[in-house]
Amino acid sequence: MDETYPPIPPLQTGLRGRCPRCGKGRLFTGFLKLRPSCEVCGLDYSFADPADGPAFFVICFACIPTVLLAVWLDVAFDASIWTQFLITGPFMALTCIPPLRPLKGWLIASQYFYKAEEGKLSGGPEASEE
């Protein structure tokens, strides 16, 4: 980390969509589109690669309750397909879409804070032959 900027916890910056180094610049230009760099401190965001992490967390913590709601509606009330669409559809949209941006910001801030990078194998076959 840069010595001119004190380390800021990922939850503090990431969930708010702020720069992981200075905590002031914005991470996103759109809903999920990442800026090329921080407009305040100039941190290059090319290190950031949350991949499918935000979607995975949303599936685990938002889609499962939606399925449980749909099953409960069907078992308890014998809900028609239209009732399912009218109740579980908006419930799924409200529990899946809003958390994507904070989760993506948190994962990017965590990558910066913990200096995460692509995994590399060390000591391959050449190293053992010495």
The whole-number pLDDT of residue 119 equals: 78
pTM: 0.83
Question: Any residues with CB less than 8 A from the CB of 110 and at least 6 apart, and which?
Answer: 10, 14, 116
Q: Distance between the two ends of the chain, CA-based, in angstroms?
A: 36
pLDDT in tens, 115-127: 988 778 877 566 5
Q: What residues does each domain of the chain span?
A: 10-118
Rounded CA-CA distance 115/34 in Å is 18
Residues of the chain with pLDDT under 50: 130
Q: What is the pLDDT of residue 2?
A: 53
